[in-house]
Structure formats: structure tokens, C-alpha cells
């Protein structure tokens, strides 16, 4: 009995490639484009799919020049001609496209456009329905994944621009079949929290970029209506700058990225300090001008009285002037004190919001390496666990030798 031939992996992939290419030759495939990526080399990588199956596809740069850059995108229904092959280094079964013709909108895109038209006709996108965003929010609700990059990006921007704002996270999955329901539940929890626990000035609904399928949860009709009915102003920031969702259209403001949403949500404390200082200077200048005008008017009236009136009339004017001047000085002083106190309060508030002040007084902040929130108690800490301590001039990494509860 002759022993069977033992293939190497390379031989097997080469045989599979030859078999596929010779068996099928050039064929036409109809499907919907998904996960389209334009590589720096100019090649197009995407998936062709229908209701039940999908196949990896590639169109190389030399065959892309006849295709307008914006003609094909994720969600486009296409007719593609090409050959079946195997990418030998990875043993990947794929379809190499030579001709790619758009046929119309794909399933997701058709559903998106239909819902967009429906809600637009109902007036959910009208500018008159949008609520104004607060100028200086004190509390913000954040709806996103608790483990995603969007949450870290938003927190980093808020801490840099307006560090004393309180951020309350209402976690939810942001993709998958359960995501629409979880997002609606998170929005409902945020509204109930704002009503019963702590008023929220603003809600950020956000996630990072992804494919059309990844962002589909934010095109849910029930979620869009919940965002529209939300009594708290909502900023929607879903995906990258080129991505749009139904929630973007019904929200009070759309931002292109999670970081941009945080920029829109709060002012820059440096800009506010500059504005306060400028306001104080303008008030001081206007007060001096006002006083100078009144003094000039007094001198003119006094000179006229001396020239035209007897001594008694002049004395009467002097008494009236004294009374008027005293009243004016009291009014000016009161206004100036009030504005000075307001400016001082705003300046002090911004100074006290500097998170480094407690550290300079000898305090420190301790974190778990994988948690951006500072520790507030010993719950969950174990001996041998690594912790990070932030001091005024640096950070210290250490390990816990013992955890004990303070009985006092």
C-alpha cells in the first residue's frame, strides 16, 4: 500500500488556491458592502454579505482608479466581478474584485434613510425643537460603555477644560442586538437620577468609531424618540467625524467625536479667567469715565450759577449737588463692590478648582492602575495588589502589604 502524500501547510494553501481559481474562473457576485477600509496603499478591503453569509473581498489599487472614491461605501449594494482565491500566507478564502458596480442602497442604509425621512416629516429634526446647552454645566450624565475609549477620552477633556464638573456614568453596551434596549434604559436612568437625586445639566450619548453594523444601535427608532423627549439637553457623538446616526439628528447638538463632545459641553477655564479679568478692567474704566462726566457737569452748573444767580440760589444748588453727589457715590460704590465681589468669587472658584492644590498641601490621590477613579476606601483592596499614588511632583507605584479597617 502506497503511503498517502503529506502536505505542508504552504502546499495545501497553494493547491486550494489553484483549485478555486481553475474551478470557478471569473464570476459575478451580488451583495452588500460592509466594513469598507481604504488602506494607505490604495487597496480596498471589505466584506460582501447577504442575509445569511459573508465573504472577505479585496480590490487592488491598480483596479480602483476607475471607481470614484465616494461611489462605494459600507451599506452599498453592489454587483462585483472577480475570482475566488486563497491568500496563501494566512490561508484566507477571499474574493479578488476586478469590477465593482453600485446597485443602490444596502439593507442597513435603506432602513436608515427610511427612518430618517419618517422622523424628519414628524418634526423631530426641526431646529426649533433643540434645547440650548448650558454655558457652565455643573453635572453631566455620560452614557457609553464603561470599558470603551470614549469614556476615557471624554473624562480627559473635561478634566483639562472644566475640572470641577461632576460626571455621572450610566453604562451601557454600544453595539450588538441588546445595545438599543440598554441605551434606552441608561437614558431613562439618567433622567430619573436627574429628577430624584442630583440635577443633570447635560447628557452625553457617545461611542467611538466602527462599522455601519457597530453603529446600528444608535439608529434605533425607540432610542431616537427617547432622546427627542429627554428633558435634559443631549449631545450625541457617535463614531468618527464622517459617521452620522439617527440620534445625531434628534439630539440637541451633534459632535463628530467623543472628545469633541466634551469640548462642546464645557467652557475652557483659562478662557473664563481671561474674560473675568477683562470684565473687571472694563467696569473700572467705565466707572472712571462716568465719574469724570458727572464732575464736569457739576463744574459747568456751578460756574453758571456764580455768573447768573445771587448767593442764596448758589447755596441752594450747592446743597442739591451735595445730596446728588453723595447719592451717586453711594450707588457707584455699591455697584463696584457688587461687581468686584462677583469677579473675586469667580476667580476664587477657578483657583480652587485646580486639582493640584490639595497635592501641594501634602495630600495625595491613590488609584488602582486600571481604574481612573481615586480610591475612597479599602473595599476590594487586597494585600499584594499594586497601587499608584499621585503626589504634587510625581507618581509612586507600590504594593499593599496589609489591609485593615480603621475601627475608630
Of 45, 112, 20, 129, the closest CA to residue 75 belongs to: 112
Return the pLDDT at 258.
92
- Class of the 9-104 domain? mainly beta
pLDDT in tens, 68-112: 445 677 878 888 889 999 988 888 899 999 888 877 666 677 788
Query: For the chain, how many residues are written?
Result: 408
pTM assigned to the model: 0.52
d(CA 26, CA 125) in angstroms, rounded, equals 47
What band does 260 get if pLDDT is binned at 50, 70 and 90? very high
Element (H, E) at 199: none
d(CA 374, CA 390) in angstroms, rounded, equals 10
**3-class SS at 52?**
coil
Q: Where are the beta strands (DSSP E) in 39-177?
A: 44-49, 54-59, 76-87, 92-105, 139-143, 166-169
Q: How far is CA 62 from CA 20, 42, 43, 44, 400, in A?
A: 23, 9, 8, 11, 60
The answer to whether 347 and 354 have CB atoms below 8 angstroms apart is: no
Q: Say how many C-beta atoms besides its own lie within 10 A of residue 135's C-beta.
A: 9
- Which residues, in sequence order, are bridge partners of residue 194? none
Return the pLDDT at 304.
66
Fold designation for 111-266: Rossmann fold (3.40.50)
The answer to whether 343 and 276 have CB atoms below 8 angstroms apart is: yes
- Residue 203's Cβ-side half-sphere holds a number of Cα atoms within 13 Å equal to 31
DSSP annotation string for 200-264: -SEEEEEE----TTTTGGGG-HHHHHHHHH-SS-EEEEESSTT---HHHHHSSEE-SSHHHHHHH
Return the pLDDT at 373.
84
pLDDT in tens, 152-167: 999 999 999 999 899 9
Amino acid at each position: 500500500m502506497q503511503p498517502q502524500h503529506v502536505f505542508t501547510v504552504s502546499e495545501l494553501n497553494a493547491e486550494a488556491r489553484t483549485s478555486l481559481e481553475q474551478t470557478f474562473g471569473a464570476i459575478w457576485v451580488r451583495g452588500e458592502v460592509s466594513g469598507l477600509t481604504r488602506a494607505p496603499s490604495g487597496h480596498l478591503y471589505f466584506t460582501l454579505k447577504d442575509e445569511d453569509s459573508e465573504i472577505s473581498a479585496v480590490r487592488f489599487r491598480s483596479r480602483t482608479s476607475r471607481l470614484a472614491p465616494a461611489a462605494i461605501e459600507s451599506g452599498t449594494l453592489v454587483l462585483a466581478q472577480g475570482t475566488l482565491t486563497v491568500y496563501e500566507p494566512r490561508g484566507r478564502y477571499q474574493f479578488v474584485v476586478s469590477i465593482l458596480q453600485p446597485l443602490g442602497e444596502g439593507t442597513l442604509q435603506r432602513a436608515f434613510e427610511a427612518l430618517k425621512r419618517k422622523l424628519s416629516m414628524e418634526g423631530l429634526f426641526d431646529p426649533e425643537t433643540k434645547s440650548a446647552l448650558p454655558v457652565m454645566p455643573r453635572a453631566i450624565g455620560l452614557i457609553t460603555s464603561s470599558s470603551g475609549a470614549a469614556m476615557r477620552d471624554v473624562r480627559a477633556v473635561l478634566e483639562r477644560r472644566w475640572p470641577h464638573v461632576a460626571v455621572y456614568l450610566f453604562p451601557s453596551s454600544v453595539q450588538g442586538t441588546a445595545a438599543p434596549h440598554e441605551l434606552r434604559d441608561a437614558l431613562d436612568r439618567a433622567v430619573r437620577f436627574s429628577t430624584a437625586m442630583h440635577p443633570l445639566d447635560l447628557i452625553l450619548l457617545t461611542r467611538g468609531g466602527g462599522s455601519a453594523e457597530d453603529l446600528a444601535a444608535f439608529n434605533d427608532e425607540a432610542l431616537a424618540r427617547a432622546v427627542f423627549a429627554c428633558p435634559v439637553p443631549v449631545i450625541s457623538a457617535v463614531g468618527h467625524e464622517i459617521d452620522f446616526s439617527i440620534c445625531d439628528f434628534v439630539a440637541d447638538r451633534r459632535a463628530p467625536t467623543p472628545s469633541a463632545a466634551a469640548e462642546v459641553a464645557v467652557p475652557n477655564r483659562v478662557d473664563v479667567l481671561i474674560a473675568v479679568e477683562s470684565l473687571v478692567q472694563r467696569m473700572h474704566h467705565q466707572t472712571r469715565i462716568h465719574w469724570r462726566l458727572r464732575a464736569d457737569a457739576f463744574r459747568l452748573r456751578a460756574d453758571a450759577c456764580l455768573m447768573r444767580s445771587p448767593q442764596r440760589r448758589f447755596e441752594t444748588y450747592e446743597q442739591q449737588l451735595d445730596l446728588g453727589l453723595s447719592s451717586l457715590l453711594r450707588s457707584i460704590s455699591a455697584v463696584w463692590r457688587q461687581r468686584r465681589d462677583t469677579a473675586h468669587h469667580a476667580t476664587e472658584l477657578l483657583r480652587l478648582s485646580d486639582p493640584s492644590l490639595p497635592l501641594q498641601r501634602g495630600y495625595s490621590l491613590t488609584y488602582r492602575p486600571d481604574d481612573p477613579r481615586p480610591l475612597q476606601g479599602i473595599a476590594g483592596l487586597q494585600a499584594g495588589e499594586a497601587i499608584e499614588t499621585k503626589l504634587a511632583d510625581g507618581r509612586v507605584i507600590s504594593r499593599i502589604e496589609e489591609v485593615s479597617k480603621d475601627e475608630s
